[in-house]
């Protein structure tokens, strides 16, 4: 184990224990536990003593054990005694409750379906050694109160453990599952390669235009497939050609850089393009905002096109080709077997249903289940194809969604936001700050993790701002997500970068140069869009 990992393990567990031991003003016990889990997860995600998807699963385990209403801390077994209210005849309505029910802070907690809530108004009539006589309009004879007003679980809303598990099958996860099914069938029947071949044709053999063609193909494919898989596929196409070029030709680097850049940019275009999109959608959904597939594309596609073009010009400017011909030969043919044709139909139909949500009203996540169910039913996807899905990505996102849930529910997100006084920030400033922070940390850690850690906070701040007015929360969240996706300065920033870097064709400084240039361009466009364009598109 490397030193970094060892530190991650120690610091992560240390942070968890510390967060539980130090009393924090204004944070409930469940909030404190959530803070501990969040702190540990953050260190684990950043320093990776265990795989990031394992950290996600660890979050859910800890939530189930420590935060659920059936768990170790808040289970009924450890819950306070609940007493029946004794109605007293004289001077109605008056009730007798146990003396301990009155907490140190002078509150009495009534048991409701989800948690114990303090009585909003009551008046103490008399006290004796064992009981208190109170008068209150919000109590009735059938109500029950907590007999120990100072118990740890009062004032805490807990969820059933099933709530945490259900994040693994949340509509956003299902949306991604649908995307996986589509991508798997496309890969299985070579649809991706054939599309590349067809799309590349009009670009001729001038190096610059072939490069643009490669970038467009990569972007389109990565909008529906995993960015990594797309990059790897395109690398198999270009590496043999690049290998035959003169070592001194800058175009070698240009091509090798164009593909990961295009893959990262292309991932922004659709909700299923890259996991950070899922995290953003899930966070918005938690706040009651639903963004349809088409609305997302309406915002993201034009942005992607503009940024892709700019990236192409930048790369061609940095790495001017010396050669005057660059030929990509793909000798594949469209698979015309019945199963392949079925898969094309399902692919087309699903995407059509996604972009036409406004016409039929069936939600994105509902449509997403069509390929999940239909492709295996038709025999297009077999057992081994299903095993080949990137389940760990779903785990990673699922754990992230679950973390966000607790942060919001336990008030941790709010408590964290309160540490900074946001009052002095304008809406635009908030977007800029979150975008830059997101961009910065996403360059160092997984994009999904970066957005997972950032989204609950951004949503909390944004909700406050939106309540005041003049702030469009979805547009802001999309802008932040876009900036997270554009983090590609370092080889470790994204798997596509890692692949390109590992080929040995490019150097870190080339990556940094292009990454920073594209990042700056993307940042400017995203901020302008979030402030002036997107709010009008989604109203």
Partner 1 sequence: MGKNIYMLCVDDEAEVLEAVERDLSSLENQFPLEIASSAAEARAVLKKIVDSGDELGVIFCDHVMPDETGVELLTAMEGSDAWAQTRKVLLTGQASQEATIEAINRGGLDHFVAKPWTKENLINVARAQLTEYVIRTDRDPLPYLASLDAAKLSAAIYRKGIITDS
Which residues of this protein are in contact with partner 1, per CB under 8 A? 52, 187, 226-229, 232-233, 235-236, 239-240, 243, 267, 274-275, 388-390, 392-393, 396, 446-449, 494-495, 498-499, 502-504
- Residue number with CB closer to partner 1 (208 or 277): 277
CA distances from 69 to 72, 154, 407 (A): 9, 12, 16
Paired tokens of 56: 């996600």
Structural contact between residues 263 and 231, judged by C-beta atoms closer than 8 angstroms: yes
Paired tokens of 288: 């009651």
Q: 261: Cβ–Cβ under 8 A, 6 or more apart, which residues?
A: 215, 311, 315, 488, 514, 515, 518
Cα-based torsion angle of the residue sequence 395, 58, 434, 290 in order, rounded to the nearest 10 degrees? 50
- Residue number with CB closer to partner 1 (76 or 243): 243
The rounded distance, in Å, linking the Cα atoms of 344 and 513 is 39
Q: 254: Cβ–Cβ under 8 A, 6 or more apart, which residues?
A: 211, 315, 316, 318, 319, 321
Q: 358: Cβ–Cβ under 8 A, 6 or more apart, which residues?
A: 292, 294
CB of 333 to partner 1, least distance (A): 18
CB of 178 to partner 1, least distance (A): 16
CB of 313 to partner 1, least distance (A): 26
- Residue number with CB closer to partner 1 (393 or 518): 393
- Residue number with CB closer to partner 1 (236 or 322): 236
Residue of 505, 472, 411 lying closest to 157 (CA atoms):
411
Structural contact between residues 446 and 45, judged by C-beta atoms closer than 8 angstroms: yes
Alpha-carbon Rg for the chain in angstroms: 27
CB of 317 to partner 1, least distance (A): 26
- Residue number with CB closer to partner 1 (243 or 348): 243
Q: 387: Cβ–Cβ under 8 A, 6 or more apart, which residues?
A: none
Question: Which residue's structure tokens are 């989604």?
Answer: 538
- Residue number with CB closer to partner 1 (256 or 353): 256
- Residue number with CB closer to partner 1 (30 or 227): 227
The rounded distance, in Å, linking the Cα atoms of 169 and 365 is 11
CB of 204 to partner 1, least distance (A): 23
- Residue number with CB closer to partner 1 (264 or 472): 264
Q: Are strands 82-84 and 86-88 parallel, antiparallel or unpaired?
A: unpaired
CB of 268 to partner 1, least distance (A): 13
Residue of 390, 393, 171, 178 lying closest to 282 (CA atoms):
171
DSSP state string for 173-184: HHHHHHHHHHHH
Q: Find the DSSP H helices in 22-101.
A: 29-47, 52-62
CB of 380 to partner 1, least distance (A): 17
The rounded distance, in Å, linking the Cα atoms of 186 and 343 is 7
CB of 98 to partner 1, least distance (A): 53
CB of 417 to partner 1, least distance (A): 27
Paired tokens of 146: 């907590």
- Residue number with CB closer to partner 1 (102 or 242): 242
CB atoms within 10 A of CB 97: 26
CB of 494 to partner 1, least distance (A): 8
The rounded distance, in Å, linking the Cα atoms of 132 and 391 is 56
- Residue number with CB closer to partner 1 (260 or 321): 260
Q: Which residues pair with 96 in a beta bridge?
A: 86, 133
Sheet holding 82-84, edge to edge: 82-84, 144-146, 109-111, 116-118
CB of 527 to partner 1, least distance (A): 25
- Residue number with CB closer to partner 1 (123 or 507): 507
- Residue number with CB closer to partner 1 (472 or 494): 494
The rounded distance, in Å, linking the Cα atoms of 60 and 40 is 13
CB of 302 to partner 1, least distance (A): 23
3-class state of residue 453 by DSSP: helix
């Amino acid at each position: 184990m490397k030193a970094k990992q060892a530190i991650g393990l120690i610091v992560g567990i240390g942070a968890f224990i510390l967060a539980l031991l130090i009393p924090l003003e204004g944070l409930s016990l469940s909030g404190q536990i959530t803070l501990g889990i969040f702190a540990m997860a953050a260190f684990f995600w950043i320093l990776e003593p265990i795989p990031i998807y394992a950290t996600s699963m660890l979050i859910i385990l800890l939530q189930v054990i420590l935060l659920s209403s059936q768990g170790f801390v808040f289970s009924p077994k450890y819950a306070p005694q609940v007493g029946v209210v004794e109605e007293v005849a004289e001077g109605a309505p008056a009730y007798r409750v146990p003396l301990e029910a009155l907490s140190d802070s002078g509150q009495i907690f009534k048991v409701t379906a989800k948690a114990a809530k303090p009585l909003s108004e009551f008046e103490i009539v008399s006290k004796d050694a064992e009981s208190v006589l109170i008068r209150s309009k919000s109590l009735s004879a059938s109500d029950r109160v907590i007999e120990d007003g100072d118990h740890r679980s009062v004032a805490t809303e807990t969820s059933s453990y099933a709530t945490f598990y259900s994040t693994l099958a949340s509509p956003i996860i299902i949306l991604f599952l649908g995307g996986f099914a589509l991508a798997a069938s496309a890969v299985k029947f070579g649809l991706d390669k054939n599309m590349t071949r067809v799309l590349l044709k009009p670009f001729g053999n001038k190096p610059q235009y072939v490069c643009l063609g490669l970038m467009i193909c990569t972007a389109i494919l990565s909008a529906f497939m995993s960015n990594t898989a797309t990059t790897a596929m395109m690398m198999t196409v270009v590496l043999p050609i690049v290998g035959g070029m003169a070592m001194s030709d800058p175009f070698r680097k240009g091509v090798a850089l164009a593909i990961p850049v295009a893959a990262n940019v292309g991932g922004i275009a659709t909700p299923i393009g890259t996991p950070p999109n899922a995290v953003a959608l899930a966070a918005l959904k938690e706040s009651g905002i639903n963004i349809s597939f088409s609305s997302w594309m309406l915002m993201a596609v034009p942005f992607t096109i503009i940024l892709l073009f700019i990236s192409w010009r930048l790369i061609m400017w940095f790495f001017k080709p010396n050669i005057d011909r660059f030929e990509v030969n793909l000798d594949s043919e469209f698979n015309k077997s019945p199963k392949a044709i079925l898969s094309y139909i399902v692919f087309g139909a699903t995407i059509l249903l996604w972009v036409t949500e406004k016409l039929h009203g069936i939600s994105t996540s509902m449509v997403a289940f069509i390929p999940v169910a239909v492709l295996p039913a038709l025999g297009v996807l077999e057992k081994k194809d299903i095993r080949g899905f990137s389940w760990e990505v779903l785990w990673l996102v699922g754990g992230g969604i679950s973390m966000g849930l607790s942060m919001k529910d336990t008030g941790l997100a709010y408590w964290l936001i309160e540490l900074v006084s946001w009052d002095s920030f304008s809406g635009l400033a908030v977007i800029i700050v979150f975008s830059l922070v997101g961009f910065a940390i996403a360059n160092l850690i997984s994009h999904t993790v970066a957005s997972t850690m950032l989204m609950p906070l951004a949503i909390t701040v944004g909700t406050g701002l939106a309540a005041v007015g003049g702030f469009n929360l979805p547009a802001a969240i999309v802008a932040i997500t876009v900036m997270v996706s554009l983090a590609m300065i370092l080889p470790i920033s994204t798997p596509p970068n890692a692949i390109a870097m590992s080929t040995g064709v490019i150097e870190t400084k080339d990556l940094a140069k292009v990454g920073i240039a594209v990042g700056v361009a993307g940042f400017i466009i995203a901020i302008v869009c979030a402030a002036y364009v997107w709010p009008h598109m989604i109203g």
